[in-house]
Structures are given as C-alpha cells and as structure tokens.
Structure 1
Amino acid sequence: MGPTGIGVLVVDDEEIVGAGLCAILDAEPDITVLGEAAEDGADVPGLVRRLRPDVLLMGVRTSATDPVAATRHVLASDHPPRVLILTTFGNDGRVYDALRAGATGFVLKRARPVEIVQAVRTVAAGESLLFPAAVRELIATRGRCGGDRLRDTGLTEREAEVLRLIARGLSNAEIAAELVLGVETVRTHVGDVLAKLGARDRTQAVVAAYESGFIDPRRPV
C-alpha cells in the first residue's frame, strides 16, 4: 500500500464498466486509480511494471488479453499487485482458473459500489476475498478433486481445523472465536498452513484443499 493509500489499476473491456469503476474508486479518500485500460490489446504486465499498483482489478472475459496468463505474469514481477478478478458470472470457469493462477479473489460486476470498494480494501490489506459457496460450485463443476493428497504435507490436526475454517471464508478473528484461541495463535497457524501447502495466500490454500480431496466440494464445509 503506497503512501497515498491504495493504488489501483483497472482493466476491463467494457468502457462504461471501466469508467464507472474508476469513478467509484477514485471517490474514496484512501484509493487512487493509477490507470485504466481496455483489455483488448492492453499490455497488462507492462502497465503493472510502470504503475506499480497495489491492486489489479481485471475482467475475466476478454477478447485479446488472457487474464489467467496475465495473472501469472504480474505475480512473477518484482512488485506484484494483488489481483482481483471482475466477472459477470460467479460460476465462470475462468474465474477458477485465475484463482488457481494466484488471483486473490473475485467480485461481480453487478456488486454494489460499497461492495466493490470493500473488495479492493480487503485484498489490498492482504486478505483473500472468498465466496465459499461459489468456490465449491466452481471446483465441483471443474471436476479436479481427487483423493486426499494433503496427507503428506504434515498438517497437524489443529492446522487441518484452521484450513477448513479458512475454506468457510472466516477471518482470523472469526477462526479465533470458533476455536477459542488468540488471534496471534491463529495467525501463526494460518502461516504454517500456507507454508506447508506451498500456497501464496488463503485463496490458493482453499483451492488446494478442494482439489486434493481434503474437502469435498459437494458438501458444505
């Protein structure tokens, strides 16, 4: 997060949508729109290198730019932003592909302005933006889950509990209340879970949990 607040780069192929998002975000005192680009032909990695945003808000359906490849590319840069995917439909398979590539979360284009602003603040603060029911549906539809391949990661019983609660979309404070633990203790457990799974953030840990079969996407967590 920069000294003037949260810097955002908006990339979407619908000009009206992009302009509306910029107006919504720029109206917030802690958010600055550093740039806006149409996805058709946009050099997203180049823009990220030049503008160095804290958050890349990028549409998932494009005519020219592959948001999944762009996500992988920008996350490999020296100063990677948090990637927040913008989508019309929550069950779009490309949303899931972007999450697997390292996107922190997604937000619907029809979301209310206050929800979009909160989504940007959430991912800029380092939190994942998860919609548990939508993620379950995406993974069940994609059919990637198999036997429990997380057994060899060495997760303790407590860490496994924490991972299941992360998959429910609970924050550290909510997990602490659920397990009657201190928030700092939960933060340590979350860090250990991410390290053992080789996950960049909570979103990738949840994807790994579902894909491995550790959590059955056909059942509520």
Structure 2
Amino acid sequence: MTSAVPQQLAPVQPLAGRVAPPRVLVVGRAPLTAEGIARVLERATGVVLAGVTCSMSVAVNMIAMRHPSMVVLDEQIDPSLCSVTRFASRHGVGVVLVLGPSGPPTVRASLGRRAGANAVVSSTVAPAELLDAIRHTAAGRPFVTPELRTGRPVRLAGLGGPGGALSPRESEVLHLIAEGMDNHGIAAALGVSLETVRTHVKNTARKLGARDRSQVVAMAYKSGFVDRFTR
C-alpha cells in the first residue's frame, strides 16, 4: 500500500438493504501491511474496521465473533487462495483480495476472482482505490483495478488432448507456464511444493501429447486456451 493518505476519502455506501455500514476485517501476512490498510479504513467514512490480524486461525475466530461483512485479504498470507473460497462460501463474507508481487498479476487476478474474491486490487493501489473496491463489494458488484485488467481476460475453460482433459489445477499451471514462469515460480504462486508442480507439468504434457514444455505452450496458444495479453 502507498503511504500517502488523502485528507478526504469518499464515503463507502452500506450494503444494499442494510442500514449499518460494511464491517471490514483486515487479514495480512505482515503487520506493517495489515496495519497500513487498517489505518486507511479508520480514516474513511461509511466503513467500520472490525479488526486486524496476521493469523488465519485468528481471522476465522474473528469472523465468528465480530461478524464482519467483508474481509480485505493479503494474498501473501495464503498464496493458494483457499482462504478466499473458504471465506466467501463457508462464512458468507465478501472478499477484497490484495495481490502481492508473486506471479503474473493478470493471471493471479483471474485466479482470485475464480476462487471467489469479489474484488482484486494490487498492493500498490492508492487508498481511494482500495475504498472503491470495498464500495463495489458492499454493493455486490465485482471490481478489479485497471492494471490487473490489461489485455484480454484469461480463459479458464478446460483443454484436453490424447491423454484426457486437464484438471482445474493443471489448467492453472498451464496458464502460468504460458506466462513464462518456471517451476519454482509456479510453486510459489500457487502455494504448493516444487514436486507437485513437476507432477502437474508432466501430466499436462502427457495429456496434451506434447514432447516438451515449449510444445505445451505452443499448443495452449494455438488452441486459444490462453489469450496473449497486450502489455
């Protein structure tokens, strides 16, 4: 998050049909990041800070006890994005996902939305833009910051070949391979082990009937499975 905070920030409107303003829980990996976001919310009007934590287990308890209507979640505390789905589906709260520096941002934004995030923003956004994301989430509208929308959206439909259809995780790995990430980068972006990534890459190549990694990428683009982004 940027350190400069505007003197006046536009108020966040309450969720449709609710009198009370949205209650927001901030969950971040680093205390400095989490507290920085919290300070932005404290200075804004029309939003209530429900709490701040750098622990996923504490976050779950705070959701049960403080009943926030949404969570601002730092991606770096859970790169696998499993908590996005958990918060959205199991706990019924809106999720504003703050992306970290790992992985291709447009791909990570697409994966975040697919996981259930209502809004996705970069960690470098201005405070006013974070509040825009909260405002859209409160109104039930999706929001993705412009720099994460550049180029055409990632296609997440399945692809298959002689060896069968790709699994959802294999599809995600294929997108990241096509973006130029190596196995170590993919492991970090998805929050899985290097050996798991190697297995997914091997299975993807087998299913597509590809000889090597470069042919996997070529087949993905040729089929239209992965759209090229305009930079």
TM-score (norm 1): 0.56
Distance 1:145 1:76, change over 3 A: closer
How is 1:1-221 mapped onto 2 (pairs within 5 angstroms)?
A: 1=15, 3-39=19-55, 41-62=56-77, 65=78, 68-77=81-90, 80-89=92-101, 91-92=104-105, 94-131=108-145, 134-135=148-149, 140=154, 144-145=156-157, 217-218=227-228
Aligned residue-pair number: 149
1:95 Cα deviation from its structure 2 partner: 4.2
Residues 35 and 130 of structure 1, relative CA distance in 2, 3 Å threshold: same
Secondary structure at 2:51 match in 1: strand
Note the C-alpha offset of 1:50. 2.2
Instruction: Structure 1: give runs of 5+ residues left out of the alignment.
Output: 148-212
CA deviations over 1:161-199 (Å, ceiling 9, x no partner): xxxxxxxxxxxxxxxxxxxxxxxxxxxxxxxxxxxxxxx
Cα distance in 2 for partners of 1:123, 1:108 equals 16
Q: Structure 1 residues 132, 66: closer, same or farther in 2, change over 3 A?
A: closer
Matched letter for residue 82 of structure 1: G
Paired residues of 1:56 and 1:83 also in contact (CA < 8 A): yes
Question: Are the counterparts in 2 of residues 60 and 95 from structure 1 also a CA contact under 8 Å?
Answer: no
> Judging changes above 3 Å, is the alpha-carbon distance between structure 1 residues 116 and 219 closer, same or farther for their aligned structure 2 residues?
closer
Q: Is the 8 A contact 2:133 2:144 kept in 1?
A: no
- Specify every segment of 5 or more residues in structure 2 that has no aligned partner in the other structure, as ranges: 1-14, 160-222
Q: Write out per-residue CA displacement over residues 116-171 of structure 1, whole angstroms, 9 at most, x where no aligned residue.
A: 1111111111110134763566965xx74457xxxxxxxxxxxxxxxxxxxxxxxx
Q: Distance in 2 between matches of 1:13 and 1:42?
A: 12
Q: How has the CA–CA distance of structure 1 residues 146 and 17 changed in structure 2, closer, same or farther, with 3 Å as cutoff?
A: same
Measured in 2, the distance between the counterparts of 1:104 and 1:71 equals 10
Q: TM-score, normalised by structure 2?
A: 0.53
Report the CA distance shift for 1:112/1:131 in structure 2 as closer, same or farther (over 3 A): closer
Aligned-residue sequence identity (percent) comes to 18
